[in-house]
Amino acid sequence: MQAQPKASHFVNGAYLEDPAGAPIDVIYPATGAVIARLHEATPAVIEAALASAKAAQKAWAATRPVERSRILRRAVDLIRDRNAELSLLETLDTGKPLQETTVADWPSGADALEFFAGLAPSVTGETVPLGRDFVYTLREPLGVCVGIGAWNYPSQIACWKAAPALSLGNAMIFKPSEVTPLGALKLAEILVEAGLPAGLFNVVQGRGAVGAALVTDPRVAKVSLTGSVPTGRRVYAAAADGVRHVTMELGGKSPLIIFDDADVESAIGAAMLGNFYSTGQICSNGTRVFVQTGIKDRFLSRLAERTASIRLGDPLDMETQLGPLVSEAHMQKVLNYMQIAEREGATLICGGGRAALNSGFYVQPTVFANVTDDMTLAREEVFGPVMAVLDFDSEDEVIARANDTEFGLAAGVFTADLTRGHRVVGQLEAGTCWINAYNLTPVEGPFGGVKLSGVGRENSKAAVEHYTQIKSVYVGMGPVDSPY
């Protein structure tokens, strides 16, 4: 299986190669085979990307918003027409089952482009009457934005950042994770085919150093990162030097609270989706599942039964529900967390190790019960299919324990008592919450975290704040009243 792109980078409207860059092998996680070889961006590639973005952005900002939207809408149609081939590439890049990528990855990316194409023409300033004089405001693009992506939803992340940036008149340089570099190149190709002028969406490949070079360039006005907390801290600090705008979408250890009056089958379904979908590699996963003691036994036995029926295997088989982890190194990290959980006294309910497949980075979907707040499994982000079930008795207790974390990305509550649902969510320290649902992130709703999980919001009208700035214009309508 091969997935070699035409070249490593996409700069100024075309593919670009510079073989002088260090090699990046792209590995299909289901077999361990190398499916493409790319090169890291050299300083010359980075410079070309920055220069072309800077040169193209002013004219784009001056283009009528409906014209910008028309181009993005054409890209939406191209993505939807090509969903099958794009989803296949996403599966090869990430190892996620085709069953998922076909409905989740590029489709949600297309939704984002469609949403912001529709929204951008209605983004306006306001007029502030001051008697004789007045102030009016202009909502202007920021300029050149840098997007840096994680490897779990590479194409969705590229679209979620490109859509608000481009629709509102910015240029973007996107650096995918070096682990999953392929999808963003396709987005660049499709945008140009749809009519996007050259230079407005560039893709440069590389590891952290390439991202760092972009973040500190004086031409860059904004940085949007999806990644881990340690990387977020570094990128935020580097961006602060130039007082740049930032959006930080970082990690989490989110609570999913299940009260004993909940619809247990739905709650189990949500807990499984929120721990096993994308092989558990989702930042907003509900990885601390708090179950009220009255339903604990019923919850665990049905959970074990339903988990046993999950179909692991070849991601290209549409029946496969759980694929491999993204890389061998990541698999080792996840296996290590399983061992730590056992060592620290958690009760293994199912799974707990590598899956018996001939090749690939597969682990079993795993559930630990009797997890306590101080265990490593309850404190650190595993980013794999490992569910921690914790017991609780009272509402006040579970709220305090749910909030006892440095993260604050997401949270969920399952209860038949909607008054309680709203009351609990109102007290949870999390940027994105669900009541009787989990992990649904439609583009119409804001997404993002509080505390160490990040700043800023992606998606929805909220993203407009993060890709524009306000210019305030005072208009004097009469003679200047001066005491001098």
- The binding site consists of 27, 93, 149-151, 175-178, 243, 251, 283, 381, 451, 454
Task: Examine residue 462 and tell whether it contacts ligand NDP (CB under 6 A).
Answer: no
Residues 6 or more apart whose Cβ sits within 8 Å of residue 5: 15, 36, 38, 182, 185
Task: Examine residue 314 and tell whether it contacts ligand NDP (CB under 6 A).
Answer: no
**Region near ligand NDP per CB under 6 A, out of 125-133, 243-251, 461-469, 471-479:** 243-251
* Catalytic residue selected from 159, 283, 350, 433: 283
Binding residue for ligand NDP, selected from 208, 242, 269, 446, defined by CB under 6 A: 208
Buried b or exposed e, range 158-190, using 16+ CB within 10 angstroms? bbbbbbbbbbbbbbbbbbbbbbbbbbbbbbbbb
Nearer of residues 3 and 304 to ligand NDP, judged by Cβ: 3
Nearer of residues 228 and 469 to ligand NDP, judged by Cβ: 228
* Catalytic residue selected from 100, 114, 145, 161: 161
Residue 283 annotated to the active site: yes
- Compute the half-sphere exposure of residue 359: CA atoms within 13 Å on the CB side of its CA: 10
Q: Which residue is nearest to ligand NDP (CB)?
A: 211
**Region near ligand NDP per CB under 6 A, out of 147-155, 294-302, 335-343, 352-360:** 147-155
Task: Examine residue 333 and tell whether it contacts ligand NDP (CB under 6 A).
Answer: no
The answer to whether the CB of 147 falls within 8 A of the CB of 175 is yes
Contact characters 253-292, ligand NDP, x per CB under 6 A? ------------------------------x---------
The answer to whether the CB of 252 falls within 8 A of the CB of 281 is no
Binding residue for ligand NDP, selected from 13, 109, 183, 251, defined by CB under 6 A: 251
Other residues' Cβ atoms within 10 Å of the Cβ of residue 404: 14
260 vs 295: CA distance, rounded Å: 6
Nearer of residues 223 and 349 to ligand NDP, judged by Cβ: 223
Task: Examine residue 11 and tell whether it contacts ligand NDP (CB under 6 A).
Answer: no
Task: Examine residue 437 and tell whether it contacts ligand NDP (CB under 6 A).
Answer: no
* Catalytic residue selected from 249, 253, 395, 433: 249
Contact characters 221-240, ligand NDP, x per CB under 6 A? -----xxx--x--xx-----
Residue 249 annotated to the active site: yes
Residue numbering of the annotated binding site for K(+): 27, 93, 243, 451, 454
Place of tokens 């602060």: 240
Place of tokens 């590389």: 206
Task: Examine residue 409 and tell whether it contacts ligand NDP (CB under 6 A).
Answer: yes
Residues that bind ligand NDP (CB under 6 A): 148-152, 175, 177-179, 207-208, 211-212, 215, 226-228, 231, 234-235, 249-252, 283, 381, 383, 409, 449, 454
Residues designated as active site: 161, 249, 283, 458
